[in-house]
Structure 1
Amino acid sequence: MLNSLGFAKPPAETRVVVAMSGGVDSSVTAALLKDEGYDVVGITLQLYDYGAALRKGACCAGQDIYDAATVAERIGIPHYVLDYESRFKDQVIEEFADSYARGETPIPCVRCNQTVKFRDLLATARDLGAEALATGHYVQRRLGPHGPELVRGADAGRDQSYFLFATTSDQLDFLRFPLGHLSKPETRDLAQRYGLSVHDKPDSQDICFVPDGDYASIVKRLRPEAAEPGEIVDLAGQVVGKHQGVIHYTIGQRRGLGLGAEVSGGEPLFVIRLEPNRRRVVVGPRSALGRDIVHLKDVNWLGGPETDVACTVKLRSAQAPAPARLTRNADGSGTLHLAAPQHGIAPGQAAVFYDGDRVLGGGWISGTGLSDAVEAA
């Protein structure tokens, strides 16, 4: 008979490492598993140290390490803090800055899951003799005919599958997500039941290493060239304004352009593309944003052997899935053909593929285009 994590042994003989960020979700994950009798070890990663500049409530800040240790003591499990600061800087923060300097719109949370957490921490968990690494993500794992599958969280409003698209099949075999079937209110109720001090701790809203959400100041410090001023031009190349650095803009952006009605003729203007090498921001009407071809790189595939497959795709985390057809190539690249043009598709973001509630994989957006049919319309 299998235990709740899928192992043919009693929970007490099953060691599980829990990634404890100091928030309510990972704390409840540890408490649930301990309550079921598992041999639980809590690990918190120190990812950065900006001292007084850190926002209280940011993931893995000093307060969060203290909160994780307090929860571990409360539920009676060993707890360790690992210094991953240099890894986080190299693999997440530096890549974040590089991406903005290239005129992209990065998602550092995905990079963190892809590298520091689900690669490095997972290896550490194995070194500790664990048979699973559990996290507090709102996503589900189920066994399919060909092995474990990644599935959206039961609570659509909390689903975090978009941010876990880069999880590999080997990693998914080792990972467990005990909260995937719960809603956030149910998780907070459990935290109160277990007497956890973090039961009412607010969720972190912004990128964890960016104080007050001011990502531009981080990028400016690391890549000052990305903050150099330049021109705002229309689709014909006519200069219509000035900007203070391409890092302040993303494709699809409307606000903050500082262009008067006399420039736009009364029609709202949007960022159509960024040209960082020329330090230019190109603007135009919303109609110029529509794209139905999406080029991808570094595709992670969790589906079957097909290289051409119908699916739905999310092009931003808060966007509803849209019908598409995916073509995958042997070199890890791919092309999405959307059933209808989408607006504001930005390089550096992720395209995540679904078959119903199952995650088929995802890739990084490297560019966009228009099909002949749409361009002729």
Structure 2
Amino acid sequence: MKIVAAMSGGVDSTVAAALLLEKGFEVVGVTMRLWDGFGETPPRRCCSPEDIESAVQMARVLGIHHEIVDFREEFFKNIVQRFCDEYLQGLTPNPCVVCNEVIKSQFLLEYAKRVGAEAIATGHYAIVKSSGEAIGLFKGVDEGKDQSYFLHRIPPLRLKHLFLPAGTFKKEEIRQIARKMNLKVASKAESQELCFATPKGYSEVVERFGRVNIIKGLVIYKGKVLYEHNGIHNFTIGKRCGYKHGPNHRIFVKSIDPETGIVEAGEREDLLSNSMVVKDVVWHIPEPEKMIECTVKIRYRSKEVKALLEPVGASKVFVKFSEPQFAVTPGQAAVFYSDRMIIGGGWIDKGG
């Protein structure tokens, strides 16, 4: 079988390609050129020229053919533009989830099929399992590195064309494999933050590429104005408000109104939610017709919590938490699990 291995220039994707070679697959390395919107990429961000060169070198070491594929237009339209639009709507987007759904599992898979490959592979720490006609997405072995959350929007029909060789290993084991192969990426640091953020952060991206005017307004706390702000895109639900602008204790962003520009701050307990509504759900099981039990994560690094899911419309569910959750954030991904298997996930619409 011919497989296109996405190679970012890091240790995970390099070892993933090597593991496929060991299993006898025909592997073609592909590096996606995604972003150079500001003409420079800060250190420790994926997609930098240095990372692309690293991927070229690693493919040469592995003895596989390598191609650089230009997806910059697709990335800008589907990831960067959407990111900016959502921030200016008062949401907190998760571009990495969308990138895996659209760029990798759609555009890269289409490219793979054009060059005669049957599947793609990445270095993500998650596991795809199949049993007969059924196929499922599971947490990776390494609990600290599990990335199934970021892959939940890849539908089952595409999962059958996805290989995740790193998912059955722990991160240190992947590095050990790289060291045994004398790969110079064995100790390479991991990329951090958004690949298209600038040294000033993501705000500069929104200000440059947003398709509507920056919405300025007021930060209020208990009905009193704390200060004027220079754009709602600088706020996310749960973000701390500075002490110099408020009381002598921690207060947090409670709500963002994209129409008026008003950002409301509150105490930590004011941001606790017992429930939420999740929309645009991608199911990995038959869509439930009645209430089911599961666990849910409301952000990548949050702890899973027990919950009840109740269908309330097409691809939409009402989620009741077993315990209140802090800063349920519209625009973020909520992912549902049954033990280690993903059963579905969607975008948080609102907390309750």
Question: What one-letter code is carried by the residue in structure 1 that aligns with 2:175?
Answer: R
Q: 1:50 to 1:196 in 2, by over 3 A?
A: farther
Q: 1:224 to 1:141 in 2, by over 3 A?
A: closer
Structural mapping, 1:80-159, within 5 Å: 80-144=67-131, 147-159=134-146
Residues 294-336 of structure 1: CA deviation (Å, up to 9, x unaligned): 1111100002342331100000100111011112355222221
Give the TM-score, by structure 1 length. Answer: 0.89
Structure whose CA Rg is larger: 1
Whole-Å separation in 1 of the counterparts to 2:25 and 2:257: 53
Give the TM-score, by structure 2 length. Answer: 0.95
Q: Compute the displacement of 1:131 (Å).
A: 2.1
Query: Runs of 5+ in structure 2 lacking a partner?
Result: none
Moved more, 43-52 or 344-353: 43-52
Moved more, 289-298 or 192-201: 192-201
Name the residue aligned to 1:249: 235
Structural mapping, 1:1-377, within 5 Å: 14-50=1-37, 53-144=40-131, 147-212=134-199, 214-223=201-210, 227-235=214-222, 237-256=223-242, 258-261=244-247, 266-307=248-289, 308-369=291-352
Q: Secondary structure at the match of 1:17?
A: strand
Q: Secondary structure at the match of 1:276?
A: coil
Q: Compute the displacement of 1:73 (Å).
A: 0.8
Q: Compute the displacement of 1:240 (Å).
A: 2.6
Higher strand content, 1 or 2? 2
Whole-Å separation in 1 of the counterparts to 2:240 and 2:141: 34
Question: What one-letter code is carried by the residue in structure 1 that aligns with 2:176?
Answer: D
Question: What one-letter code is carried by the residue in structure 2 that aligns with 1:176?
Answer: F
Instruction: Give the conservation status (yes or no) of the 8 Å contact 1:226–1:246.
Output: no
Question: What one-letter code is carried by the residue in structure 2 that aligns with 1:300?
Answer: V
Moved more, 107-116 or 215-224: 215-224
| Cα RMSD, aligned residues only | 1.7
Q: Secondary structure at the match of 1:288?
A: helix
Whole-Å separation in 2 of the counterparts to 1:170 and 1:216: 36
Q: Compute the displacement of 1:224 (Å).
A: 7.8
Q: 1:146 to 1:327 in 2, by over 3 A?
A: farther
Q: Secondary structure at the match of 1:296?
A: strand
Q: Give the percent of matched residue pairs that are identical in Structure 1 and Structure 2.
A: 37
In the comparison of the two structures, how many residue pairs are matched? 351
Question: What one-letter code is carried by the residue in structure 2 that aligns with 1:25?
Answer: D
Query: Runs of 5+ in structure 1 lacking a partner?
Result: 1-13, 370-377
Question: What one-letter code is carried by the residue in structure 1 that aligns with 2:40?
Answer: A
Whole-Å separation in 1 of the counterparts to 2:133 and 2:244: 54
Instruction: Give the conservation status (yes or no) of the 8 Å contact 1:169–1:302.
Output: yes
Whole-Å separation in 2 of the counterparts to 1:193 and 1:61: 26
Q: Which runs of 4+ in 1 moved over 6 A?
A: none
Q: 1:319 to 1:78 in 2, by over 3 A?
A: same
